[in-house]
Amino acid sequence: MTIRVLLADDQALLRGTFRLLIDSCPDLSVVAEAADGAAAVELTRRHHPDVVVMDVRMPGTDGLAATEAICADPALAGTRVLILTTFENDEHVARALRAGASGFLGKYVTTDTLLEAIRAVAAGDSLLSPGATKALIAQFLAAPRPVPVVTPELRDLTNRELEVMKLAADGRSNDEIAAELRLSVLTVRTHVQRAMTKLGARDRAQLVVLAYKNGLVPPSTPG
């Protein structure tokens, strides 16, 4: 199955470079390009891509506002947003999470990292480095603006789903969770997916946010 990608960046040369790179992969395809946030929202509604690769700083409607509009649209529930920017800082990551983004990368990543990031986000995984997860989520929850998800009740989750959710919030990958709990990676993915479905989480990033928001994991800065 081909992953359909929309590129949103005000630099035409960069969009062209990304298009060539992405279209060279048999499992990826660029369906549209946007030079600003407003166009990104319009084209996303028209094409329903699996992943939008979104720049933060664009003229007019910026990438974060566009991300918020896309993620708030029920008709676009199947679209994930990957923020790609040269301006890497905790505040941008926190704002991107508030807006509903599923991932955050700097523009200076390797081509392989970018391609794998698109695949990971399309699969419903979040793209936050494990070492930064606690600090970023703590900052996110401490912000005065509301979290763009409904606070759920964790009692609907099984003990195993709670356990997996807690480890995911601690920054563990599926492979690491599987090793610690002595489960298969497929079983871990199933638990993650079931927890997301029960809690109405859009993706793994929101599942982590919900774990902190509901007190399953206490916010703290990693040492």
Nearest Cα to 30, choosing from 135, 115, 156? 115
Domain ranges in the chain are 3-127, 150-213
Mean pLDDT of successive 10-residue stretches along the chain, which has 223 residues: 94 93 96 96 97 91 91 91 72 73 79 88 68 52 47 77 88 87 92 88 77 69 40
User: What does the pLDDT read at residue 30?
Assistant: 97
User: What does the pLDDT read at residue 70?
Assistant: 95
Q: What is the DSSP string of 147-160?
A: PSS----GGGS-HH
User: What does the pLDDT read at residue 97?
Assistant: 74
Which of the four CATH numbers 3.30.428.10, 3.40.50.2300, 1.10.3720.10, 3.40.50.1370 does domain 3-127 have?
A: 3.40.50.2300
Helix axes 204-213, 130-142, angle to 10 degrees: 60
Q: What is the DSSP string of 65-122?
A: HHHHHHHT-GGGTT-EEEEEES---HHHHHHHHHHT-SEEEETTS-HHHHHHHHHHHH
* Stated pTM of the model: 0.68
93's torsion region: left (phi>0), alpha (psi -120 to 50) or beta? alpha
Q: Which CATH class is domain 150-213?
A: mainly alpha
Number of H helices, E strands in the chain: 10, 5
User: What does the pLDDT read at residue 202?
Assistant: 75
User: What does the pLDDT read at residue 146?
Assistant: 44
User: What does the pLDDT read at residue 13?
Assistant: 92
